[in-house]
Structure 1
């Protein structure tokens, strides 16, 4: 080979060598050995931690007996589909779990386990005796309820903290799946602060792959110390079985709501009076903060307007706690009692400022918005945030049902929070104003109400 070709080859080789040497990786040290997790005659076990917690888990059986009046009113509605012999089952039974939180008998569970129950029975672990429980209070918006039994020698669970939780922590779900009795399943914390799932109005979930099945609802999710870190609530499934995607309500939310239910019998939430959204990728360049809750609109005469907040402000903190997104802000405000004075930090035109806000009552605002269109039903105009949360298609227009009195005619006919009133008699409904006009024109008559719910249209009749 000629000398100059050898020289070029050497230069190319050196160049390629230099190029390859510029790429480096952070390598793990070589594996030195594999070891058993403990001594040869010992077993790795979390039994001690589970033993501390399992005595705090109860089994709940609730039963709803539909009244004869309910049966008679429901019958004509279903005749057109099922014929005159249709006779819906007058009994509805629900099985679930609960967690003892005080030694004097207070038990936390899911609202959907005891909702509309005429009787609630509780059985302690390892015992055959059943106790009749009293409903202390419930909060459908977070799916948390508190019941109480009169019993002695109860073992309250030790409470953990959401702030100490990390993704990858080992956790255990304890409950009564399918009514088979006490069962424990293991997993990890798959994700934290999950929201926007569309299960509850107020969501702050731990996601876990610990097996959660029907009957686990209301049971405990504990860490490896045996401390409560969440209340098992729901799963995502296509088959009806567990697919490794379960959700538990974070313990800090559980503690806050349970405390209100025990002390006050109900949950009242602070009201700010804003329509909020997330900071999208396209909008991030317009703000110095990368995260926060964007104010899309301000309600007239609301606490937000009185404090000087404006459309386009980006809320980044509440009382010094960082706000990551719209759901974060909603959960934070919802945990304050009406009348609370809070400090909101926001960004406007590239500058960050803090303002004090006096929160009012969310329930009162919702009731005022309905203008008593239907007795026992609270209504609001459908805004973009609610449309996104409830996954309402853009072509569905109407008025959102926010609350329904359990003793009202509307509840008896099956109207639920989250329903969208899309038509009254022959008049389409687009907002509260159009609904009120349609109601006035049909005054004194039995009115057919058309409801949109999860892709289906339902018809109910209200006097």
Structure 2
């Protein structure tokens, strides 16, 4: 009897040879030669038992899990801007020229509640879509209903009105360890019901620019375009993550290089619970501003290394103020989780719910200090008239976390009423306020606090598109 490694090698060679004939042969100019049938029969297959031991296989688990993964197809109607068609004469002369186009995209989703038809996917898969449809593993295509999404964690919840659905049970992603085997299921490049496998390469991965609040599972299971919103499952067939991105400095078309990222199932569970009960995600905040430590600052504060978040401001009435935090304190850990810089502290806040109690490991005047704080609700939007009459008609919101991760600080002008005082001064929806004569600020909470004393002249430094500018509010 051949040893097991030899049998596996021969069987894999036969399987690849069959794939070459059926798929690659039809599409590539430089085709691989199939293995000669005299050496490896085309019907070769792994035996069910070798030396009295059953051969391990993921097939039984995947037969249960794969029907819960769906293909998510979206369509967005985009108006084509053509200056010639501002003239009615040209519109009459060329009525057949389309003035709209339809953008289509493809992603994946995971059924998490078969009775209610709840499907988890990524926010970026369905963002701005006018029509969302889900194609089930059995070939049925149904129109999906949008229930809510959270751009800052890239999670969206949709509902499909269909019966005989299969759902994946949610596992405990906190139990994942580096080295655990995982399987990614999705629709990369439109190839439906595709399975790739690998291990957990890292947990708690963060610090990736432009990806919102981060606590990613990193895996070397192949994750490619179209996998977004698909399932990352453990060997028990439990959903432990939502595949969201692959990291490749050369771009996604360079191919998978074994750096896939998935949103932990525990984080997804918390977001879904808020979307179902409240329709929106409400985040907690400590109510402080921090900055990174330089080696010189660390030395002056009596720290052995330039690590932690230096508190520069504590907002009145905040959870941080109630806990006794002061400017000049250095936060080194939260609930035992190491804090390396200001961004790590901000990321921790963004992933915490309102009412969460946090134990802070602080250094004050070079001495260790333990403080307890409770995160309070972070307002989602603020009306300009509550800050200053010159801002009446404008509504301000926190920046999308993807922009903040990219290095921007400030607030977003989410809406400006037509004819309002703010509009008359030139403020427009979509502007980003970077600085103001009212005082220093980095986010919505400190923007509100900066108006404790109204400035005599209110000047805003804004970013509109990629163009900076300045507005004098009257």
Of 218, 230, 239, which residue of structure 2 is paired with 1:228? 239
Return the offset for 1:181: 0.9
- Mean Cα deviation higher: 339-348 or 202-211: 339-348
What does 1:221-260 align with in structure 2 at a 5 Å threshold?
221-237=232-248, 238-241=250-253, 242-260=256-274
Return the offset for 1:115: 0.8
Deviation string for 1:56-94 (max 9, x for gaps)? Answer: 11111111123xxxx38x5569x9xxxx99988532222
1:329 aligns with 2:348: no
1:155 aligns with 2:158: no
1:273 aligns with 2:290: no
What does 1:411-430 align with in structure 2 at a 5 Å threshold?
none
Distance 2:416 2:197 in 1: 37
What does 1:29-428 align with in structure 2 at a 5 Å threshold?
39-40=50-51, 42-66=54-78, 71=79, 75=82, 90-103=101-114, 104-127=116-139, 129-237=140-248, 238-241=250-253, 242-277=256-291, 286-287=302-303, 293-318=309-334, 320-325=335-340, 326-338=342-354, 342-349=358-365, 350-357=367-374, 359-364=376-381, 375=394, 378=397, 389-391=405-407, 400-402=410-412, 404=414
User: Does the C-alpha gap of structure 1 residues 142 and 339 become closer, same or farther in structure 2, counting only changes over 3 Å?
Assistant: same
Return the offset for 1:438: 5.6
Return the offset for 1:268: 0.6
Give yes or no for contact 1:111–1:145 (8 Å, CA) kept in 2.
Answer: yes
Distance 2:355 2:251 in 1: 46
Deviation string for 1:109-157 (max 9, x for gaps)? Answer: 1000011111111111122x21111111100011111111122222221
What does 1:429-440 align with in structure 2 at a 5 Å threshold?
437=458
* Other structure's SS at 2:156 match: strand
Aligned-residue Cα RMSD (Å) equals: 4.5
User: Does the C-alpha gap of structure 1 residues 239 and 363 become closer, same or farther in structure 2, counting only changes over 3 Å?
Assistant: closer
Return the offset for 1:273: 1.8
User: Does the C-alpha gap of structure 1 residues 390 and 126 become closer, same or farther in structure 2, counting only changes over 3 Å?
Assistant: same
* Other structure's SS at 1:55 match: helix
Return the offset for 1:407: 12
Partner of residue 422, structure 2 = none
Return the offset for 1:346: 3.0
Distance 1:192 1:227 in 2: 17
Distance 1:353 1:218 in 2: 40
* Other structure's SS at 2:63 match: helix
- Mean Cα deviation higher: 129-138 or 346-355: 346-355
Return the offset for 1:329: 3.5
Deviation string for 1:213-234 (max 9, x for gaps)? Answer: 1110000111222222211111
Provide TM-score, normalisation by structure 2: 0.67
Deviation string for 1:304-360 (max 9, x for gaps)? Answer: 234321123233554x45344445533443344445565545332313222333513
Structure 1 residues without counterparts, runs of 5 or longer: 1-33, 393-398, 409-413, 425-429, 441-447
Give yes or no for contact 1:230–1:251 (8 Å, CA) kept in 2.
Answer: yes
Structure 2 residues without counterparts, runs of 5 or longer: 9-48, 419-427, 442-446, 470-474
- Mean Cα deviation higher: 304-313 or 362-371: 362-371
Deviation string for 1:391-439 (max 9, x for gaps)? Answer: 46xxxxxx6454747999xxxxx987xx856799xxxxx98899x9567
User: Does the C-alpha gap of structure 1 residues 278 and 423 become closer, same or farther in structure 2, counting only changes over 3 Å?
Assistant: closer
Partner of residue 27, structure 2 = none
Distance 1:173 1:406 in 2: 43
